Amino acid sequence: MTDSHAPRTALYPGSFDPVTLGHEDIARRTLKVADRVIVAVAHSSSQSREAAFPVEDRLDMLREVFADEPRITCVSFEGLLVDYARREGAAFVVRGLRAVSDFEYEFQMAQMNREMCPDMEFIFLMPDAHLSFLSASLVREVARLGGSVDPFVSPPVLRRLTARFGRGPAAGNTGAPAAGGTAGDTG
């Protein structure tokens, strides 16, 4: 039996390269089932080799985006997610599930994590339907190719994307090629 008065901490891990409105939606929704959310940028993930932003920049963006919400803390972590979740006393790990196509990757990760940490729970939340097509990799690609990503990210993220990739083809878009969509980019 758990102490019903103990604050429940949820851990929301990911690459957040960069944080999109879809990620924001999931983090804020998580506050409906947890007292506090730790949004945690993984130092190493399937995305890290092709990352557009260093972990420190991703963290800065997250902190700006969630500056209005004291119940959301943004951190980075190294090593295994389950070890970090245990250290932080997380009641559960949360991930966004946009479509059936996300399920296989998420299921595989959750099962592996459960093998390593049988007492940790993994919950999946759906973003609002109008965000269900959104991924950080698509945002990176559209920004890199000069498209407008205003509707998909918050202003602090838009500023960084503009600094990184320029604004529109006329701005002389010389950013290094960003990664295409991958199964692992579930935000």
Residues that bind ligand PNS (CB under 6 A): 13-15, 42, 45-47, 80-81, 109, 112-113, 184-187
Minimum CB separation from ligand PNS for residue 161, in Å? 17
CA angle 10, 75, 153 (to 5 degrees): 85
Cα distance between residue 86 and residue 42, in whole Å: 15
- Return the DSSP state at 1: -
Nearer to ligand PNS by Cβ, of 63 and 167: the residue is: 63
Is the CB of 3 or the CB of 115 nearer to ligand PNS?
Answer: 115
Name which of 28 and 114 has its Cβ closer to ligand PNS: 114
Q: What does 23-80 look like in DSSP terms, one character per residue?
A: HHHHHHHHTTT-SEEEEEEESS-TTGGG-SS-HHHHHHHHHHHTTT-TTEEEEEE-S-
Q: What angle separates helix 155-165 from helix 55-65, to the nearest 10 degrees?
A: 150
Distance CA 93, CA 81 (A): 9
Nearer to ligand PNS, 19 or 91 (CB): 19
Q: How far, rounded to the nearest angstrom, does the alpha carbon of residue 134 sit from its chain's CA centroid? A: 12
Q: At what angle do helices 155-165 and 136-144 cross, to 10 degrees?
A: 50
What's the min distance (Å) between Cβ of 151 and ligand PNS?
Answer: 21
- Minimum CB separation from ligand PNS for residue 110, in Å? 8
Q: Output the smallest distance, CB 132 to ligand PNS, in A.
A: 16
User: Is 166 in contact with 175 (CB distance < 8 Å)?
Assistant: yes
Residue number with CB closer to ligand PNS (28 or 167): 28
Minimum distance of ligand PNS from residue 56's CB (angstroms): 16
